[in-house]
Amino acid sequence: MIMTSRSVASSARRTIIAIVLAGCLGTGLSSCHHPSPPVGLGPCYESLPLAQGALDVPKASYVFHGVELVSPKDLIELVKHRFPHNPSADFNPPPGAKVCAFAFTGTFPADQVAGAPSGVSGKAAIVLTTTDRKLLFSFVLAKLPVNFSRPFTGA
């Protein structure tokens, strides 16, 4: 087969186009990623089903607002200061435990949130778990006391 300069140029052009398309496709695929939780909160998101399970209300009746990783020492001080009559005010976290605070809003009738004081109803619930997926206790409040800014939507 005799190759003319025209057929060599056409072959080179096709090769260059194929390389450019492969490069673009490779770049596009490598920029795709699976959603992941914010750095350091992965163990908390593994406890999300436990936190949702503590809410004895239909799933459609509440909204998940986010999660915060809380220092056990700070948690103890906060609970004793803000909720001194709560039975959980004497909470002693397990050594080395990390605590996740999950925030939900909705309508929470009395005795419908596991680990919350009995007889308390409200429009917000905070469920506390450890990063090794143990339910600690919960609060039912009139509103969320802080802005939980770490919702994980998978985006």
pLDDT tens digit string along 100-117? Answer: 889 999 999 989 999 888
Q: Is 87 found in the same domain as 56?
A: yes
Inside any domain, residue 60 = yes
Q: Is 128 found in the same domain as 65?
A: yes
Tokens of 16: 């260059």
Q: Is 124 found in the same domain as 58?
A: yes
Q: Is 127 found in the same domain as 94?
A: yes
d(CA 118, CA 107): 15
Surface-to-core class of residue 78, CB atoms within 10 Å of its CB (0-12 exposed, 13-18 middle, 19+ buried)? middle
Q: Is 127 found in the same domain as 101?
A: yes
- Cβ(127)–Cβ(104) below 8 Å: yes
Length of the chain: 155
- Digit-coded pLDDT (tens) for 14-67: 666 656 555 544 554 445 444 444 556 777 888 889 999 999 989 899 999 888
Average pLDDT over residues 59-78: 82
Domain ranges, residue 49: 42-141
Inside any domain, residue 133 = yes
Q: Is 85 found in the same domain as 137?
A: yes
Q: Is 100 found in the same domain as 80?
A: yes
Q: Is 56 found in the same domain as 7?
A: no
d(CA 108, CA 140): 7
Q: Is 115 found in the same domain as 46?
A: yes
Name residues whose C-beta falls within 8 Å of residue 89's C-beta, 6 or more positions apart in sequence. Answer: 79, 80, 83
